[in-house]
Amino acid sequence: MPIGTEPEAVRDSTDLEERGPRVVAVGGGTGLARALRAIRGYAGSIDAIVTVADDGGSSGRLAQELGIPPPGDIRKCLIALTPEESVWRRLFEYRFTGADVEGHSLGNLIIAALADIEGSFELALRSSEQLLGALGSVLPASPMHLGLEAVIDGKTIAGQVNIARARGSIDRIGVLPPDAPASESAIRAIDAADQIVLGPGSLYTSVIATLAVSGITEAVNRTEASLIYVTNLVTQDGETLGLDAADHLDALLHLTGLRPPAAIVASDSPVHVDPPQEQLVVDGEAIATYGVGLITADLLDREAERPVHDPSLLGEVLRGLVET
């Protein structure tokens, strides 16, 4: 049995709306963590489905050496679902700066240790949720660590970090092995969802990398849940340099076979970034050609050091899309 209290105790928190929608968020990295903080404000239940194709930093090292899904993006999501400050939260956020563990996040190491103790990576996440008091569940897209492979300007590039850094047109992207199954818990969460939120986050190496796992896109396409895509604020050097919001949508649909979302949520806040990055251009007429609605609002977190979404502002928009 997982360490700590029963999983149901986490879901009884009064910080979630008692009659709120069942929301599933899909992606990875800082963008997904921001979305989860936004969703906390209106959801009745929350499930985060997170990419397992990360191969960089502490997360990638642990995945390769221990044979577990990379815990880094998952750890960020666990913290995002944790509303209260605690010793456990500080431990999960702590990163070593010296000795043999330099560069490792303690949270990543705790998750890896719990996976060994519990005998299952997903049981380790349930225990982590209990220790942190998380307001929902974090689910790996697949129960195994996956590779990522893309064809960029006709050349095959392997590895999440290499793909994220490469410049050029991405014509195909998929996970390795291509027949790796989706986590059963992730499919169940999608099947039960009222709203599914994609992004924000790295288009190819987070959002599409998650949807590329066999069974994930198929589950999204068969559900009646409202599908929402939250665009990034700026382009990403290497991955989406030169692409506008309509280009993001086109890649999302054509590289995965995903059904068109009900709406795209984009920020209309002015953003200043250093070249070659630029603020994401949002062309409503181009987006309308896909039969997709467009919602724009001020979504910029003005207190952050770099352009990121304000969870409170994003949450107001996402809540409105449930209520309409």
**Phi, then psi, of 5 in degrees rounded to 5:** -80, 170
Instruction: Please give the pLDDT value at position 297.
Output: 98
Instruction: Please give the pLDDT value at position 2.
Output: 41
Instruction: Please give the pLDDT value at position 100.
Output: 74
Instruction: Please give the pLDDT value at position 323.
Output: 65
Q: Which of 132, 149, 159 is nearest to 63 (CA)?
A: 159
Strand order, beta sheet including 226-230: 137-140, 45-50, 22-27, 195-198, 226-230, 263-267, 293-297
Give the CA dihedral 80, 202, 241, 290, nearest 10 degrees.
-110
pLDDT in tens, 146-184: 999 999 999 999 999 999 999 999 999 999 999 999 999
Instruction: Please give the pLDDT value at position 103.
Output: 76
Domains and CATH numbers, the chain: 16-323 (3.40.50.10680)
Contact 24, 196 (CB under 8 A): yes
Q: Where are the alpha helices (DSSP H) in 213-306?
A: 216-222, 245-256, 284-288
Please indicate, yes or no, whether the overall pTM of this predicted structure exceeds 0.85.
yes
Low-confidence ranges of the chain (pLDDT < 50): 1-14
Residue 144: Cβ within 10 Å count: 18
Which residues are CB-contacts of 115 (< 8 A; sequence separation ≥ 6)?
66, 68, 121, 123, 124
Instruction: Please give the pLDDT value at position 44.
Output: 97
Residue 124: Cβ within 10 Å count: 25
Give the CA dihedral 14, 19, 24, 25, nearest 10 degrees.
-60
Q: Pull the structure tokens for residue 221.
A: 């396409």
